[in-house]
Structures are given as C-alpha cells and as structure tokens.
Amino acid sequence: MVWLYLILGIPFLFAFLVPVLHKRFTPRIHTGWFVLWIPLLIFGILLSTVPTISSGGIIDLSLPWIPAYDINITLFIDGLSLIFGLLISGVGFLVILYSIYYLSQHKEALHNFYIYLLLFMGAMLGVVLSDNIFALYVFWEMTSISSFLLIAYWFEREKSRSGARKSLLITVFGGLAMLAGFILLTMMTDTYSIRGMIHNLGGIHSHTLFLPAMVLILIGAFTKSAQFPFSIWLPDAMEAPTPVSAYLHSATMVKAGIYLVARLTPIFGGGGVWFWLVTGIGLVTLFYGSFNAIRQTDLKALLAYSTISQLGLIMSLLGLGSAGLAPEAGNAQAAYALAIFTALFHLVNHSTFKGCLFMVVGIIDHETGTRDIRKLGGLMHIMPISFTLALIGCLSMAGLPPFNGFLSKELFFTAVLNASEISVVIPVVAWLASVLTFVYSLIMVFKTFTGQPRVKSGKQAHEAPLGMLIPPMVLAALVVLLFFFPNVLVHYVLAPAWAAVLPSLAQANLLTVHVSPWHGVTPELLMTLGVIILGGTLYKTLKKWVKLYRTYPQILTLNHIYETALELMESLSLSLTKRYMTGSLRDYLIYILSFIVVAVGGALVLAQGIAFDPSHDAALSIYELALLAGMVVCAIAVLLAETRLAAVIAVGALGFLVVFFFVLFRAPDLALTQLVVETITTVLFLLCFYHLPKLKKETTPLPSKVVNGLLSLAVGLVMTLVALSANGNPLPESIAGYYENAYELAGAKNIVNAILVDFRGFDTMLEILVLSMAGLGVYTLIKLRMAGGKENERS
Amino acid sequence: MKDPNDVILRMVTKVVVIIILTFAVNLFVSGHHNPGGGFIGGLAFVAAIVLLFLVYGIEKVRQNFPVDFKALAGAGVLISVLTGARGMFIGEPFLTQAFGYVHLPLFGKTEMATAVLFDVGVALAVIGTSLTIIMSIGDDR
C-alpha cells in the first residue's frame, strides 16, 4: 500500500528532473512528453482503488512529518477524494497533452511551465488526499503559490503580473482566514484529523467557537472557489496560458473550495447559518456570474464568469444538501440529500465541458490570433471539429439534452424546487440564472462560429493539429457518454463520494439515486423548456438590451471597489507614515519622551505607587541648600544663554557644583573623577564650538515652544515623582554591609576601588572596553573622513 | 603657545610635569586603600602629557615620547582581561582576584594584589584612549 504515496510524491520529485530533461533535450523533444506519464500513472493508481472505494472501503495511510505535534502527511482516499483525485490527474493528463501542442518548444520557457504545473498538481492532490487538517493547509497554500506562478507565466506582460498579484492577494487572504478557522476547529474537537472530527463531533454545534470557525473556513473556501464577492480574481487570471486556465481555473483549483465545503459538511452542516451562507452566497454567485458573462467580449473572460456562475451553482447545491443533516428535516432528509449528489455530479460534468470549452477557445486563439468575440465569426466551415466541440460543450453548459449538463441541470431544478419549502426566492433566482446561462452559451457558440468574420486577422485561420484536438475531443466524448451512461459513474464513484459527504445519512441507507435522462413530464422539464424559450428570445433580441449593461455605473463594480480599496490603503499608509516619520529628530524625541511620560507616569498612577515618606530623610544642611541654589541658577543660565560659550561655561559650572556635592556627600573618588572628567569635557566642548557658527536665535514657533516646555516639565515631574515614590515605598535592605568587609575579602581599605576592581570587576573591564572603543571611534571618524572624502570625489 | 620665547611657561612646565606625574603615580598606587585608583591616576597622567602638548606642541612630545597610544589602550584592555582570566586557569571563576603579603627588602611587609594589575590595565586603557582622542583632534587641522 505504501506505493500509494507515489501519488503525492511523484509530482514533486519529478519537478526536480524537469530542468535537467529540458536542458538535455530542447529543442529536439518537447519537455511535456516527459511529464505526460505522471498524471497518467496517478490516474491509473487511483483507478486501481476504485473497487475498494465503491464497495464502501477507504484507504488511510499516514506518514509522520512532525509527530511531536501530531502533524502527519496523510493519504486518505474515500469517495470524495477519489472523484477529485481522478479529475485532477485525468484533466491534468489531457491538459499536458494539449499544452505540448499549444506551447512552442522553441520560444517558451517550458521547464518553468512544467515545474509550476507539477507543483500545482502535487499540491492539489495533497489538498484532496490529506486527512490531517494542517497538511491540507500546507498543500492549500502551495496551490495558491503555484497558481500565482502559472498566471504570471508570461511575466513580461503587465496584465499577467497584476492578475497574478490579485489572485495571490485574495486567495492567500482566504487561506489565512481558513488557517485561523482550522485552528479554532482543532481547539473544539481536539484532533487534527478530519475523519476524527467527524467521528467525534460531540456538542460542537453549541460551542462558542463554532460560528467563528465556520465563517473563517468559509472565507477560505469562498476566496479559492471564486464566490461572490471574492470572484474578481478569476477573470483577471485569464492572462495565464490557456492550458493553465483550463486546468486550474475550470477543473481543479477553483474546486478546492467546493471540496473543502463538501468535506466539512458533516461537521458544520445541519445548522441554519451554514445553510444560508453556503446556499445564499452560492446563488448570488450563480446569478452574478451568469449575468456578467453576457457582457464579456473576450471568450476567456466569458468562460471565467461562466465558471464563477457554475461554481456558485455547485456551492448552492452543497448548501441545499446540508439541510438533509438538519434534525428537523424529518422525512425530507433524502430529498435534500439529493442536492449533494447533484453538486458532485455537476462538479464532474462542469470539469468535462468547461475544460473542453477552454481548450477550444485556446485553439481559436492559437489559430486566429484573437479571442475577441467582436472580431470572430464564420469559423464553422474553417474549423468544423472545433465547432462541434464548442457546440457540445456549450449546449451541455446550457443544460440541453443529449449532454450531461442536462442531467445535472434537471437535478439542480429538483433540488431548488425542494428548497422552495424553505424560501421561494431560491428556485426563482436559480431559474433566472439558468436563462442567462443559456444566453451566454448561445453567444459563445454562435457569435464565434456563425456569420461572417468581421475582422480579418493576420493569420490564415485553419483547423488545429490533431494533437491539440484530441484532449477536448476526449472531454466532449465524456460529456456525451455521461448523458447516456451516467449510472456507471454514479455507481463507482459518485455514490461513495455522496456517502462520504453525508456519512450519517449513508448509514441510514437514505442515499439512493438512479439518474435517467427521462423522467416524464415533470416541473423540472417544464422549467428547462421555459429556459430554452426565454433564453432563445433573449438571445434573438440581444442587440436591443445588451446596451443596458453599459448603464451600470463603473464605480459600483467589484473590480473598481477592489482597486480603489487597494489604492486607498496604499495612500493612507503612505500619508500616515509620512505624517509621523518626519525625519526630524526633534519630533522623534517628542514621541519618545511623551511615551516615557505616559508609560511611566501612567504605571505610577495605575499601580497607585505615588507615596511620600520623609521620615527617613536626612536633615538638610545649609551647604546643600546653597549648592542647590547654585545649580538651579546654572541650569536656568544654560536655558537662557544667548551664546554657545555661555551655555558651555554654565554646563561646566553645573558639573563643578556636582563635584562639591560629591565632596559634601563624602565620595572622594567620585569627586576626583568628576572634576577631571568635567574639565576634559568642557575643553572638548569648547574645541567643538570654536568651529561652529554663532548660536542662532531660536525661531521655533510659539506652539511648539509650548509643547516642548510642557513636555520637559512633564518629564521632570514624572521623574521627580518616581524618585520620591521610590524613596517613599518600602525598599529591600541594602547590601552595602557586605562591602564593609572589603579589607578581609579583597585586601583593600578603599571600598569603592575594591568594588570596582574586585567585587564587580567585570563591569570595570567592560567600561574600559567602552572607553577604548570610543577612542578608536574618534580616531576613525577623524582619520577616515579624509579617505572617505577622496573616495567620494573620485566617484 | 608654541612660541619659543615662553621661557617662564616652559620652565614652570618642566617642574610641574614632574610633580603631576608623581601625583598621578601616587593616586594610582594609593587607590587600594585611599581615594584614587586606575581611572583617576590615568587621567592625572594624561593631564601631565596634555600640559606638555600645550607648551611644546604635539610633534615634539611625540618625538620624545614615541608611544602608540591606540596600542596602549588595547594593551590596557588586554591586561585587564588577562588578569581576569588568571582565575580560570586555577579553577576559579573569571575575574577572581587574589592578594597576599610578602616581605620585600626595602619596603618591609607589602601587600601584593592581582587587583592592582587589573588597575594597571584600567590606567593604561584610560591613558591610551584619552591621548588618542586628544591627539586625533589636535592633529586635525
């Protein structure tokens, strides 16, 4: 069984080999041929597990990664993982085959392309096959990053870069929200295994963290799956090469969010919030996507909005199906549960027809040089095969027989009709969105392939090479086959997946379905007929009402809001930074000092530490008073000095008065040192100021003078309060008594010196180091300034 | 001040420098038992040299007193660290100072302490640094 790990390992391992192969064989052999077998191998391995899964088994392997934190690389295959795994590897195989013909082996940096693609494939497989929630998150972010790299594959184009940045910003935002949600979830359930969570739900629904966890995880799922209003990155991601769009942005990555919602339905489903969030957002997205798809003139943009709309459809179905888990659903449980089945069924269908359509659009782009609907037309006779493929894809997307889209659309209508008991709005919105879907599907086929070519492109359009046609042909064949034989897929893959999403209902044997194209004349069929009639009419009269789109103000589009918000954030942070980072030291000093006042003063007040206790104070002598008066006079003289010399002398005088204080307080060593140091600093000051221009009269405006004054007063006040309070509060006993034994311990009668060189010699050692560094610093500043100056002159 | 006719100044300096240097040594030596020590002793020594600078000029002092003061500062730090490291070789913590009494022929019972060696380092560092700073600034014309 361990060889199953190949599924996860091979894409990453082979990515290392790609550059070697590329270097060795370019341009003789297209690098894609080497990569092609990987998804095929994975597809084969996954197919070999189908018998196990369809008979109700699961595959669960675990490889320790960070065992101390219980984070493991897990390989967990049940029905749901299997569908996604098969889609990823199957569509991956077709896309690589397609890309071999799509990307030139002479002009393109193919090694980059295939490394990114393999990374993406491995990451995506990791997302769907992980049971460990943090391993899932790691793979999730790897899909974001590899998708970012793929979108900006043509990085010399400005639009590619901006599209890539947008998708990265949005999906990583969602990914981080999701991580937070995951952490909350693990806090509630006390396990990192999703299966463990489902088995051991307990009273999670009433937990206080339940709602935040749900919302955060849904944000992650919605951003990844391009749900409203996070859908804006998907149309911009269409700047990627078409194989990438076909693979990532129709079949796989955008379904990661769908996967997550389906996977976590057993945990979160059943409650009203989940139901309304998932269904509501899904329906809004469905309508928004199909509404906006009609106005697009670029085929890929049209497909992008169509993808958004279809993803919304699947999402709303997942929401509707979660009602089956609600205890109050009663007998309707099975009916609601059918919605989940429909979601999974449409997921497969969408991947087939949307992949096919993207590839066809790529062919058109490749062969005519444009994707603009306004320039295209009349390609039916030139490219008959592409036309057939597009027709199959579009009619399936529109929900017509005999294509698989019809089946899932009928089931969708069944689901929304069931939900009309909950709210009548649901079927109405769904039906309207289907009409719009019908319209843009028609636009896509008929505007491109019928009529006359409006603008002759430089290229002589012709049918694509066979290799490029085979992948969409395979997908189109699946579209048709799934219509005629849906129950094969249902039996082998969809039924176990359904059971995986709704394990409790599966145990009660409520999940049975038989998909057949013909139900008789049912309300669903009538709804489809209505879609065709109204959609057809709308398409015929398209020219008359499509102008209405232009009346919608540009300012209210989501893209505009996103751009404005981004600009606003940038300009706001810039202006904020510019406002406080003035570059003026005076301002920074004001910040620092105000912080000291607020923090120290605030702490003093909050801790109620202000206390005065003069009982231990020594008596004040006349000498001390006199010295104090002298110092105050000197300090004021410094402030008021008109010339620098006066200020320097006043500072010197202050220093010498301190010497007297030391004498008075019986500190002869300090007095001696202070005397000499004060002399030297005064001399140095004089040396410096001798070379300076005359002291300018302060021209500070009055308000800032007032601020400075108040601030200095505040600092002084706070520090005085601190000092007095320190004295006023009980202090621990002094350790000075120990040093009185200096002679016995250190052989020195001078206690100060004994402390300096013996008891606390380490400080002294570092002090002289500091002194030496200062000396060397002065030396370097003075000597190297010359050399530096010369260097500047030279340059 | 480098005027060769400052005869009185020069004569007084010659006498005073001797006194200052003696006082500096005294301050240093007495540091163990009386106010003084490496730092203040070193500074007093510097004061004497500075006086020579002022009276005779930097060049002349440098010729007669050919010491690299930067190296002196480094040597001072090194001595302090090494006296501190002494303890480590005999299994005691870093910077453990020892003292003892020996009988010297001329001085009688004399106290010898490694702390004094440490103080020598301090003094040398102070002298070296101060003179480096002053000479650097003084040279900068």
pLDDT in tens, A725-736: 888 877 788 888
Total domain count for chain A? Answer: 4
**pLDDT over threshold 50, residue A81:** yes
pLDDT of residue A455: 55
Taking phi over 0 as left and psi of -120 to 50 as alpha, with beta for the rest, A119 belongs to alpha
- Output phi, psi for A514, to 5 deg: -130, 115
Which of A144-158, A537-551, B86-100 is the most confident on average? A144-158
For B52, the token pair is 């020579």
Does some domain include residue A232? no
Distance from CA of A693 to the nearest CA of B (A): 17
First to last CA, chain B: 16
CA distance A435 to A448: 20
CB spacing of A750 vs B136 below 8 angstroms: no
Same domain, A455 and A482: yes
Does some domain include residue A691? yes
Check if the beta carbon of residue A351 is closer than 8 Å to that of residue A91.
Answer: yes
> Considering CB atoms only, which of B31, B43, B133 is closest to A775?
B133
Check if the beta carbon of residue A361 is closer than 8 Å to that of residue A328.
Answer: no
User: What mean pLDDT is predicted for residues A178-183?
Assistant: 93
Contact pairs from chain A to chain B, CB under 8 Å: 127
CB spacing of B113 vs A747 below 8 angstroms: yes
Mean pLDDT of chain B: 84
pLDDT of residue A795: 40
- Residue B41 at interface with chain A, using a CB cutoff of 8 Å: no
Same domain, A508 and A363: yes
CB under 8 Å, gap of 24 or more: what pairs does A148-152 form?
A149/A112, A149/A116, A149/A119, A150/A113, A150/A116, A150/A117, A150/A120, A150/A240, A150/A241, A150/A244, A150/A248, A151/A237, A151/A239, A151/A240, A151/A244, A152/A240
**pLDDT over threshold 50, residue B23:** yes
Element (H, E) at B18: helix B7-30
Check if the beta carbon of residue A420 is closer than 8 Å to that of residue A357.
Answer: no
- For the stretch A25-62, pLDDT in tens is 877 788 888 888 889 988 998 888 888 888 888 888 88
- Output phi, psi for B100, to 5 deg: -160, 175
Distance from CA of A658 to the nearest CA of B (A): 17
- For the stretch A189-247, pLDDT in tens is 888 888 888 887 777 777 888 889 999 999 999 999 988 888 888 888 888 888 998 89
With beta carbons under 8 A apart, name residues in chain B contacting A742.
none
- Residue B31 at interface with chain A, using a CB cutoff of 8 Å: yes
Check if the beta carbon of residue B79 is closer than 8 Å to that of residue B126.
Answer: no
**pLDDT over threshold 70, residue A22:** yes
With beta carbons under 8 A apart, name residues in chain B contacting A757.
37-38, 97, 115, 118-119, 122
CB half-sphere exposure, A320, CA atoms < 13 A: 35
- For the stretch A514-572, pLDDT in tens is 666 666 677 888 888 888 888 888 888 877 777 777 777 777 778 888 888 989 999 99
CA distance A302 to B14: 100
Query: Searching chain B, which residue's CA lies closest to the CA of residue A666?
Result: B35
With beta carbons under 8 A apart, name residues in chain B contacting A772.
73-74, 76-77, 125, 128-129
At B99, is the secondary structure helix, strand, or coil?
strand
Same domain, A401 and A492: yes
User: What mean pLDDT is predicted for residues A308-316?
Assistant: 91
Same domain, A640 and A759: no
User: What mean pLDDT is predicted for residues A704-716?
Assistant: 88
Q: In whole angstroms, how far apart are CA A789 and each of A786, B140, B141? A: 5, 14, 15
Same domain, A705 and A684: no
Q: Kindly report the CA angle at A97 between A91 and A101, in degrees rounded to 5?
A: 135
Q: Give the end of a domain, one of A552, A571, A595.
A: A552
pLDDT of residue A530: 87
Same domain, A527 and A401: yes
Q: In whole angstroms, how far apart are CA A157 and each of A153, A163, A361? A: 9, 10, 20
pLDDT band (50, 70, 90) for residue A695: low
pLDDT of residue A514: 67
Q: Which 3-state string (H, E, C) describes A398-410? A: HCCCCCHHHHHHH
Check if the beta carbon of residue A318 is closer than 8 Å to that of residue A415.
Answer: no
Whole domain around residue A590: which residue ranges? 586-611+698-727
Nearest to A274 by CA among A314, A313, A218: A218
Does some domain include residue A781? yes
pLDDT band (50, 70, 90) for residue A457: low
Nearest to A144 by CA among A109, A169, A180: A169
Nearest to B54 by CA among B141, B135, B140: B135
Q: Name the more confident of A454 and A648.
A: A648
Element (H, E) at B110: strand B108-113
Does some domain include residue A760? yes
Check if the beta carbon of residue A79 is closer than 8 Å to that of residue A496.
Answer: yes
User: What mean pLDDT is predicted for residues A594-618?
Assistant: 86
pLDDT of residue A515: 67
CB spacing of B36 vs A758 below 8 angstroms: no
- For the stretch A394-405, pLDDT in tens is 989 888 878 888
CA distance A60 to A63: 10
> Considering CB atoms only, which of B80, B119, B136 is closest to A779?
B136
DSSP per position, A279-315: HHHHHHHHHHHHHHHTT--BHHHHHHHHHHHHHHHHH
Nearest to A434 by CA among A457, A454, A417: A417
Same domain, A518 and A481: yes
pLDDT band (50, 70, 90) for residue B1: very low
The Cα diameter of chain A in Å comes to: 116
Check if the beta carbon of residue B125 is closer than 8 Å to that of residue A771.
Answer: yes
Q: Give the end of a domain, one of A510, A534, A552.
A: A552
Q: Kindly report the CA angle at A25 between A24 and A30, in degrees rounded to 5?
A: 140
Distance from CA of A791 to the nearest CA of B (A): 19
**pLDDT over threshold 90, residue A713:** yes
Spatial neighbors of A341 by CB under 8 A, at least 6 apart, are A321, A411, A494, A498, A511, A513
pLDDT band (50, 70, 90) for residue A794: very low
For A391, the token pair is 């027709």
Spatial neighbors of A581 by CB under 8 A, at least 6 apart, are none
pLDDT of residue A453: 64
- Output phi, psi for A74, to 5 deg: -110, 150
Residues of A with CB under 8 A from a CB of B: 668-669, 672-673, 676-677, 680, 684, 687, 746-750, 752-754, 756-758, 761-762, 764-765, 768-769, 771-772, 774-776, 778-779, 782-783
Residue pointed to by tokens 């889209």: A405
Same domain, A367 and A500: yes
Does some domain include residue A48? no
Same domain, A634 and A779: no
Taking phi over 0 as left and psi of -120 to 50 as alpha, with beta for the rest, A509 belongs to left
Chain A contact probe: residue of B39, B45, B86, B92 with most A CBs at under 10 A: B39
Does some domain include residue A525? yes
What is the rounded radius of gyration, in angstroms, for the C-alpha atoms of chain B? 18
Q: Kindly report the CA angle at A412 between A407 and A417, in degrees rounded to 5?
A: 130
Q: Which amino acid is at A301?
A: A
At A581, is the secondary structure helix, strand, or coil?
coil
Does some domain include residue A41? no
With beta carbons under 8 A apart, name residues in chain B contacting A747.
32, 99-100, 111, 113, 115
Check: complex ipTM more than 0.85: yes
Same domain, A661 and A780: no
Does some domain include residue A478? yes
CB spacing of A757 vs B132 below 8 angstroms: no
Same domain, A469 and A601: no
Count of Cβ atoms closer than 10 Å to residue A526 Cβ: 11
CA distance A536 to A545: 14
Output helix, strand, coil percentages for chain B, rounded to the nearest 5: 70, 10, 25
pLDDT of residue A179: 94
Q: Where are the alpha helices (DSSP H) in A541-643?
A: 542-545, 558-580, 585-596, 602-606, 622-640
CA distance A162 to A154: 12
Omega of the bond leading into A465 within 30 degrees of 0 (cis): no
- Residue B139 at interface with chain A, using a CB cutoff of 8 Å: yes
- Residue B47 at interface with chain A, using a CB cutoff of 8 Å: yes
Query: Searching chain A, which residue's CA lies closest to the CA of residue B113?
Result: A747
With beta carbons under 8 A apart, name residues in chain B contacting A744.
none
With beta carbons under 8 A apart, name residues in chain A contacting B47.
676
Spatial neighbors of A289 by CB under 8 A, at least 6 apart, are A231, A305, A306, A307, A308, A309, A310, A311, A312
Same domain, A455 and A520: yes
